[in-house]
Structure 1
Amino acid sequence: MLRPTLIALSLLATGATQAADRITDLPFATRSEVIAPHAVAATSQPLATQIALDVMKQGGNAIDAAIAANAALGLMEPVGCGIGGDLYAIVWDAKTQKLYGLNGSGRSPQSLSLKQLKVELAKQKLTAIPPFGPLPVSVPGTVDGWFSLHQRFGKLPMDQILAPTIRYAREGFPVSDVISYYWRRNVQTLIKYPGIREQFTRDGVGPAKGQMWTNPNLANTYEALAKGGRDAFYKGEIARKIAAYMKRNGGYLSEADLAAHKSEWVEPVSVNYRGYDVWELPPNTQGIAALQALNILEGYDFKPGDFGSTTHIHRFVEATKLAFADRARYYADQDFFKTPLKQLLSDEYAADRRKLIDDARAMQTVNAGDVILKQSDTIYLTTADAEGNMVSLIQSNFRGMGSGMAPEDLGFILQDRGQLFALDEGHANVYAPGKRPFQTIIPAFISKDGQPWVSFGLMGGDMQPQGHTQIVMNLIDFGMNLQEAGDAPRIYWDSPQQPTGGTVSDGGTVSLETGFPYRSIQQLLQKRHKISYDLGGYGGYQAIMRLPNGAWAAASESRKDGQAAGY
């Protein structure tokens, strides 16, 4: 029997990675899963994880804990989320034994027409909606998302749920490592926008790792929500301040837009992958791209030893290209364009698309499939409680800290999701007043035989559906445990094609995280793939698994500051 150190050396020789020598769960375990009997939480910031656990120890359920953790992350990780952004969630309700989906995304300003938007862009000599400033701002849906979840499933009063974050906002918390890095980078770009310097820097600089940070403005805002509910945000003084700020700075978001907002309960959609039902939310999100890719990949036979092979990487990338071509053409707000979900997720359609994949070479030009029409940075968290409830929740401002528009005295930044609208009339995702833009943020869930198995998600724009597909394959095809599935090296395919339309014409670029065998990279180059390396562009994963004995396993990857914990 080889000693652990010799095993580690042999793994490095083949390209596998691990953090340290281990005697179990080789080759990709960097640490053990967290296993607990009662409740677990996994978030991208340890203090938020602890808040979620505390809420459940106080009698709250997984839904209360998810809201509390999201509120904390809005304070502690403003580089990825906040109440100026949108929210999506999938909830497994133990009482009804059913999955529920919530679309908490906001709509574009009613007073801004496509014609006027193009006039505004022409004034600035722009041909596309910019990522920053007032024009990409849409209604922030997160707060209504919280109260919609709470009204249907919550147990504790909202003031108790928000209390821990209010305390941290006033007393301060030490900023963690990765968050500090992105915070400092973001403010370099956004500091010219009103409210950023005053509320998100100290003397024009973002906080250093370990620096104590307070946000009394956000504490005041949260206290208003605790007392006045969701209307305090959408119909009260907060709404008036947001609208006045936007008007002063050339924006169109109004009190009427905020007052008209509401979240929407939606039916999650799924495909069956080798006996497991994988669930996503329907458009305007991009979740079904993962389902489309899985449907294509199910036609191949993968074994545990295939991970990292040329065949694994090549087929994954080609399936992703096909799914993303459809994403660019068909994903949009369902109130304006009916995405042909049944056809896109059918086995027959997957089989037709699979025929386009050539195992000998990479596709250089990829178009959307023909169907019959009937006319993102982010945080992800997941919680589970002693009753068996599970929450898969994702929330974002888009592009790190969002638009840069930070209304004075409120302590948060408005999102820039409107940047993802198309400008071409006739496109499914073309800009229109009161329309929800295409969204990149997606929560996910896996069930088996009608029972919950895994709640999971992964951050990072276009990486999200690709990451979802890889996590499912890692768990089901490659036999990894919950922690291994997140720590294994990742694949990220990127191309000039944008969610607002276009065709892949150059095959795109495949970024491979450190850890894939060099021989696989050589063979991918021979198949005409363009190979690159991306530092930090592979997302951030959290997950919870229901074990057969009723206990919980939880995981949080090492690419972020996160923590999985339980009791």
Structure 2
Amino acid sequence: MSLVRTTLTALFLVAFLQNAAAQKRPQSIVKPRGAVATDGGRCSVIGMSVLRQGGNAIDASVAAALCLGVVSSGIGGGAFTVDMYGSNPDLKKKGVLSAGVAGEVAGLFTAWKQHGKIPWKQLVTPAEKLAEEGFKISKYLYMQLNATRADVLADKGLSELFVSNGQLKKLGTIIHNRKLAFTLKQIAENGPKAFYNGTVGVNLASDISKAGGIITLKDLQSYRVKVRKPLSVNILGYELLGMPPPSSGGAAMMLVSLILY
């Protein structure tokens, strides 16, 4: 398994919730309408499918985020320490030191464990099938590949997926990522332990070490999810939730919403 630099996925899920006072009541809140919006149309469809199957907002978020991990961003995610890059901040932009301890899978599983309704495997399988059966290079992915062309061509793992005869594959080309499909299959069947303490974790730590990185298998095994209170704002009688700092996404989304309002 080749190390692929990942970024946090951009996922916005809008669910129609009761106002803050109503949420204090202990019963479940059920709404007849909902919407899922991601930066990949296929992933929005997967999220809506989960809602139609009886899943809730958390279920839809998990399935859509894992889908995004296939078509654009990877399933790693991560973090960093304050003094990790010393006097060379460029190291955080690309290269093996730009990868933090992968936290996305553990975070999604924790959210599902606490609030999900439908089986974990049912949420992971759509992304697994997409990676195995293939997906088209979208306009957005094609733009990102061209923007980082030199890095893609220099990386063995990325080249195996996105390069043919020394050139980036064209817009609309179908990509099969069977290594990622295998990883997702392990996660679907065994939960996050497959990622942090199984074959996937061992291979990941090995690849990082070979590339000159500092993340070890012990780092993966020691990873723990920290649950934070989300940012919240009332828009037109609905409560909009977003990621709190250090992420800037939630604050930016709420600021734009309030300006539009």
Displacement, 1:251?
0.8
The DSSP-based 3-state class of the residue aligned with 1:138 is coil
Which residue in 2 is equivalent to 1:143?
Answer: 105
Correspondence for 2:94 among 125, 132, 136: 132
Q: How does 1:351-362 map to 2 (within 5 A)?
A: none
CA distance in 2, matches of 1:272, 1:48: 27
Displacement, 1:255?
0.6
8 Å CA contact 1:187, 1:205 repeated in 2? no
Displacement, 1:276?
8.9
Where relative contact order (Cα < 8 A, 6+ residues apart) is larger, the structure is: 1
Which residue in 2 is equivalent to 1:443?
Answer: 250
Q: Is 1:62 equivalent to 2:57 in the alignment?
A: yes
CA distance in 2, matches of 1:213, 1:169: 8
Displacement, 1:63?
1.3
Displacement, 1:62?
2.0
Q: CA 1:280–1:207 in 2, change beyond 3 Å: closer, same or farther?
A: same
- 1:11-31 deviation digits (Å, cap 9, x = unpaired): xxxxxxxxxxxxxxxxxxxxx
Q: CA 1:140–1:59 in 2, change beyond 3 Å: closer, same or farther?
A: same
Q: How does 1:147-226 map to 2 (within 5 A)?
A: 147-226=109-188
Q: Is 1:474 equivalent to 2:260 in the alignment?
A: yes
CA distance in 1, matches of 2:102, 2:119: 23
8 Å CA contact 2:145, 2:152 repeated in 1? no
Displacement, 1:38?
3.1
- 1:127-178 deviation digits (Å, cap 9, x = unpaired): 7535111222211111011101110111121221122222221211222223
Q: Is 1:230 equivalent to 2:192 in the alignment?
A: yes
Q: Partner amino acid for 1:68?
A: A
Displacement, 1:241?
0.9
CA distance in 2, matches of 1:238, 1:208: 30
Q: Partner amino acid for 2:121?
A: D
The DSSP-based 3-state class of the residue aligned with 1:60 is coil
What value does the CA root-mean-square deviation take over the aligned residues? 3.0
8 Å CA contact 1:183, 1:207 repeated in 2? no
Displacement, 1:252?
0.4
CA distance in 2, matches of 1:231, 1:213: 27
The DSSP-based 3-state class of the residue aligned with 1:160 is helix
Aligned residues: 232
8 Å CA contact 1:184, 1:207 repeated in 2? no
CA distance in 2, matches of 1:276, 1:155: 23
Structure with bigger helix share is 2
CA distance in 1, matches of 2:250, 2:258: 13
The DSSP-based 3-state class of the residue aligned with 1:135 is helix
Displacement, 1:203?
3.6
Q: How does 1:404-419 map to 2 (within 5 A)?
A: none
The DSSP-based 3-state class of the residue aligned with 1:41 is strand
Q: How does 1:315-330 map to 2 (within 5 A)?
A: none
Q: Is 1:261 equivalent to 2:256 in the alignment?
A: no
- 1:247-295 deviation digits (Å, cap 9, x = unpaired): 1111101011111112211123457899998765443233xxxxxxxxx
Q: CA 1:227–1:134 in 2, change beyond 3 Å: closer, same or farther?
A: same
Structure with bigger strand share is 1
TM-score (normalised: structure 1) = 0.37
Displacement, 1:74?
1.2
Which residue in 2 is equivalent to 1:487?
Answer: none
The DSSP-based 3-state class of the residue aligned with 2:256 is helix
Q: Partner amino acid for 2:257?
A: I
Q: CA 1:63–1:130 in 2, change beyond 3 Å: closer, same or farther?
A: closer
Q: CA 1:268–1:250 in 2, change beyond 3 Å: closer, same or farther?
A: same
Where structure 2 has 5 or more consecutive residues not aligned to the other structure, the ranges are 1-30
Q: CA 1:130–1:151 in 2, change beyond 3 Å: closer, same or farther?
A: closer
CA distance in 2, matches of 1:193, 1:171: 23
Q: CA 1:273–1:242 in 2, change beyond 3 Å: closer, same or farther?
A: same
Which residue in 2 is equivalent to 1:49?
Answer: 44
Which residue in 1 is equivalent to 2:211?
Answer: 249
Q: CA 1:53–1:184 in 2, change beyond 3 Å: closer, same or farther?
A: same
Correspondence for 1:72 among 43, 54, 67: 67
Q: CA 1:468–1:40 in 2, change beyond 3 Å: closer, same or farther?
A: closer
CA distance in 2, matches of 1:235, 1:55: 28
Q: Give the percent of matched residue pairs that are identical in Structure 1 and Structure 2.
A: 29
**4+ residue stretches of structure 1 with deviation over 6 A?**
271-278
Q: Partner amino acid for 1:85?
A: G
Q: CA 1:256–1:278 in 2, change beyond 3 Å: closer, same or farther?
A: same
Q: Partner amino acid for 1:473?
A: I
CA distance in 2, matches of 1:473, 1:150: 32
Displacement, 1:40?
2.2
Q: Is 1:39 equivalent to 2:31 in the alignment?
A: no
CA distance in 2, matches of 1:75, 1:269: 28
The DSSP-based 3-state class of the residue aligned with 1:221 is helix
Q: CA 1:64–1:277 in 2, change beyond 3 Å: closer, same or farther?
A: closer
Q: CA 1:65–1:130 in 2, change beyond 3 Å: closer, same or farther?
A: closer
8 Å CA contact 1:175, 1:209 repeated in 2? yes
